């Protein structure tokens, strides 16, 4: 009787042990927290494309969409950590504090926070993409192809990420065409097709013949197509929405990073770090160039793309002046990451003030 009991006890222990080992080695579960709906065809949509890459690599994934950047975020994170997820990606800046707070309570769960800078616990890593490198490419094309020398730019919110993009775009455009002006319209939304369309239309009516955007919907490229001006796609390749207008798009490519990090969790090689990848690492991708771009511009673009990728050229190379003519970056120097992360002033050549 006793023997039987001990045998069954031992065997069940062994069974449990194998189960646990199996769970640790194979069934790594990743969770993704999104600020918007996966149907936004912009920021969240691209993160979800990355999630699907993780799924394709053989891992289980879960996602929660439309999570507000408030106490709700903490609740969602706690629930995901409690329900057996090994790594949680939080894909919006505003999740920074909730991520760190919940990470403290779950030291065995890894947290990956996008676009933030706080890593208060050893299980929190941060990652972001150098989209400004892509915008330097767009600026080069815009500066070469504008006829009116007025370039419109629909911006979302006055935060360093967006201002960095405007500056990088303008600097690159000035390099090929010193006469250009960048007109900015702040839409104060990340996606509202109607509003974005109205903003783009206002810029076109005021003489802009190329429209760049830092909002997420495809409304702007559609308006450009109707008005017969050029535009650039944002976050994903928007060419099919406006085949004539879209010269190229800057794509957010999170997939490779997500797969790499989830694999690292599975292998036990995950470590805390801050990742800021650009064109070189493939996190920022330039879509196919439109046939309407002339070959001399094309070769200029290809060269810049290669130089940005190799690190030979930095998008913020001095001398760079602000709107009042004060030196921001000295000749021969490049802006360091700290300066880029906190950039809240326009460079010379951008029109207007940053709204407060």
Partner 1 sequence: MIIDVNFVGLIIASIMASAVPLILASCGELITERSGVLNLGVEGMMIIGAISGFALMTVTGSLIIAVFGAMLAGVLISTIFAFLTQTLITNHVATGLALTIFGIGISAMIGKNFVGIPGKEFPVIFESLKDTIPLLSPILFGHSIVFYFAFALPFITSYFLKKTKIGLIVRAVGDSPEAASNQGINVKLVRYSCILYGGAMCGLAGAYLSMIYTPQWIENMTGGRGWIALALVVFSTWNPIKILIGAMIFGGLTIIQFHMQAIGVRIPVQFLTALPYIVTIIVLVVISRDSRKIRLSTPSSLGKSFYKDN
Cβ distance to partner 1 smaller for residue 100 or 167: 167
Contacting range for partner 1; rule: CB under 8 A; set: 113-121, 188-196, 247-255, 309-317: 188-196
Contacting range for partner 1; rule: CB under 8 A; set: 89-97, 169-177, 235-243, 286-294: 235-243
Q: How many residues bind partner 1 (CB under 8 A)?
A: 42
Tell me the C-alpha distance between 288 and 282, whole Å: 14
Of the candidates 88, 135, 144, the residue with the CA atom closest to the CA atom of residue 114: 88
Query: Pattern of binders to partner 1 over 24-63, x per CB under 8 A?
Result: ------------xxxxxx---x------------------
Cβ distance to partner 1 smaller for residue 66 or 107: 66
Contacts of 23 (CB under 8 A, 6+ apart): none
Contacting range for partner 1; rule: CB under 8 A; set: 80-88, 161-169, 211-219, 255-263: 211-219
| Residue 217 buriedness (CB in 10 A; 0-12 / 13-18 / 19+) | buried
CB 116 within 8 A of CB 126: yes
Number of neighbouring beta carbons within 10 Å of residue 158: 16
Tell me the C-alpha distance between 143 and 151, whole Å: 8
> Which residue do the tokens 């194998």 mark?
18
Does position 183 interact with partner 1 (CB under 8 A)? The reply is: yes
Does position 192 interact with partner 1 (CB under 8 A)? The reply is: yes
Does position 146 interact with partner 1 (CB under 8 A)? The reply is: no
Tell me the C-alpha distance between 125 and 120, whole Å: 9
Query: Pattern of binders to partner 1 over 272-311, x per CB under 8 A?
Result: ----------------------------------------
Does position 68 interact with partner 1 (CB under 8 A)? The reply is: no
| Residue 60 buriedness (CB in 10 A; 0-12 / 13-18 / 19+) | middle
Out of 59, 127, 131, 191, the residue judged to bind partner 1 by CB under 8 A: 191
Question: For residue 128, what is the enclosing H or E element?
Answer: strand 124-129
Does position 201 interact with partner 1 (CB under 8 A)? The reply is: yes
Which positions touch partner 1 (CB under 8 A)? 36-41, 45, 152, 183-189, 191-199, 201-203, 205-206, 217-219, 222-223, 236, 240-242, 351-353, 355
């Amino acid at each position: 009787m006793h023997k039987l009991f001990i045998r069954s006890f031992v065997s069940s222990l062994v069974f449990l042990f194998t189960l646990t080992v199996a769970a640790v080695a194979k069934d790594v579960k990743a969770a993704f927290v999104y600020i918007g709906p996966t149907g936004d065809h912009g920021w969240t949509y691209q993160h979800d494309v990355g999630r699907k890459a993780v799924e394709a690599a053989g891992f289980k994934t879960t996602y929660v969409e439309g999570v507000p950047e408030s106490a709700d975020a903490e609740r969602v994170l706690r629930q995901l950590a409690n329900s057996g997820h090994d790594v949680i990606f939080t894909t919006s800046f505003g999740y920074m504090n909730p991520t760190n707070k919940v990470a403290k309570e779950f030291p065995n769960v890894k947290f990956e926070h996008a676009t933030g800078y706080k890593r208060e616990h050893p299980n929190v890593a941060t990652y972001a993409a150098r989209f400004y490198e892509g915008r330097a490419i767009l600026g080069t094309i815009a500066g070469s192809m504008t006829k009116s020398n007025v370039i419109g730019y629909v911006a979302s919110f006055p935060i360093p990420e967006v201002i960095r993009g405007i500056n990088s775009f303008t600097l690159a455009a000035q390099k090929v065409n010193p006469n250009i002006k960048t007109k900015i319209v702040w839409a104060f939304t990340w996606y509202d097709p109607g509003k974005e369309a109205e903003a783009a239309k206002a810029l076109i009516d005021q003489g802009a013949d190329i429209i760049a955007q830092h909002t997420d919907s495809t409304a702007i490229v559609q308006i450009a197509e109707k008005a017969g001006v050029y535009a650039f796609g944002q976050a994903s390749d928007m060419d099919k929405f406006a085949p004539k207008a879209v010269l190229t798009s800057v794509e957010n490519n999170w997939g490779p990073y997500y797969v790499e990090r989830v694999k690292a969790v599975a292998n036990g090689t995950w470590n805390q770090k801050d990742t800021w990848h650009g064109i070189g690492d493939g996190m920022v991708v330039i879509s196919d160039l439109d046939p309407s771009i002339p070959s001399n511009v094309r070769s200029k673009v290809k060269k810049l793309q290669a130089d940005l990728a190799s690190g030979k050229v930095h998008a913020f190379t001095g001398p760079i002046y602000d709107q009042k003519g004060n030196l921001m970056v000295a000749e021969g120097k490049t802006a360091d990451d700290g300066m880029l992360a906190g950039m809240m002033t326009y460079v010379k050549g951008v029109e207007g003030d940053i709204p407060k």
